[in-house]
Amino acid sequence: MPDETSIQLYPVSADTLALSSAHLNYFQSQVGEKQAMLNIERSRFFPELSLGYVRQNILPEKGLDSWMVGVSFPVWFLPQRSKIRQAKFERNIAQTQADANVRELNNKVTELRASIRRYGESIRFYTTTALAEADNLIKTADLQFRESETDITEYVQSMNAAREIEKGYIEAVYQYNVAALEYELYHQ
């Protein structure tokens, strides 16, 4: 179990440019499937040869064996040509869709890389300046309230301002970690 009070950044290297091979392979497999369907439709221009064996047991005779051999020749080619054109069209659509998916994946990775940098800068601001300022604001408000130099409303306002700074830091870390995990998903 992780410590519930610790806030850690998910380690990510946003320097490499390679995309997820699982995503790319999936896109290419869709194109490969359509290419295989095109090849099947093209193969129907050629004669088909079929061979079969059947063994039957019909009472009172047993062991009736038969062999079947068949040959079919395509006679009418027009319907098959239209099926081939349709298969080519579907393959081209699949290729276009795969290319669009790769571009979209590239854009998503670029966007996530920019988000990681932006949230990283925000976190650096919080750790170097804002969190120390929030701690000083809390200490000052406590000291002024104890010494009766301020009233309760100003004390609560100071505490709320400090808590808002801490809340902003936690939200920045959360957004950074979400972007890092999503980047890792599309990047591996």
Neighbours of 179 (CB within 10 A): 23
15 in a domain, yes or no?
A: no
Q: Put residue 148 in one of left, alpha, beta given phi > 0 → left and psi -120 to 50 → alpha.
A: left
pLDDT at 5: 59
Residue 128: CB atoms within 10 Å? 9
pTM as predicted? 0.67
Give the C-alpha separation, 165 to 95, whole Å.
Answer: 49
Q: Report if residue 124 sits inside a domain.
A: yes
Contact 16, 187 (CB under 8 A): yes
Query: Residue 182: inside a domain, yes or no?
Result: yes
Question: What distance in Å separates the CA atoms of residue 90 and residue 35, rounded to the nearest whole number?
Answer: 9
- Coil, helix or strand for 88? helix
Residue 36, in any domain of the structure: yes
Region of poorest pLDDT, from 40-44, 55-59, 161-165: 55-59
Task: For residue 8, tell me if it sits in a domain.
Answer: no
92 inside domain? yes
Amino acid at 143: L
User: If you search the block for the tokens 């890092």, which residue do you land on?
Assistant: 180
Are 102 and 19 a contacting pair, CB within 8 Å? Answer: yes
Hey, what are 75's tokens? 């006679």
Residue closest to 116 by CA, chosen among 17, 19, 7, 12: 12
Range of the domain at 162: 21-187
Residue 10 lies in a domain: no
CATH number at residue 57: 1.20.1600.10
Place 144 in a pLDDT band, splitting at 50, 70 and 90: confident
- How large is the average pLDDT for residues 49-67? 81
119 lies in some domain: yes
What distances in angstroms separate CA 97 from CA 19, 46, 59, 175, one per listed residue? 17, 31, 59, 31
Which residue reads 């047993």 in tokens?
Answer: 62
Give the tens place of pLDDT for each residue, 5-43.
Answer: 567 777 777 666 677 788 888 889 999 999 999 898 888
Overall number of domains in the chain: 1
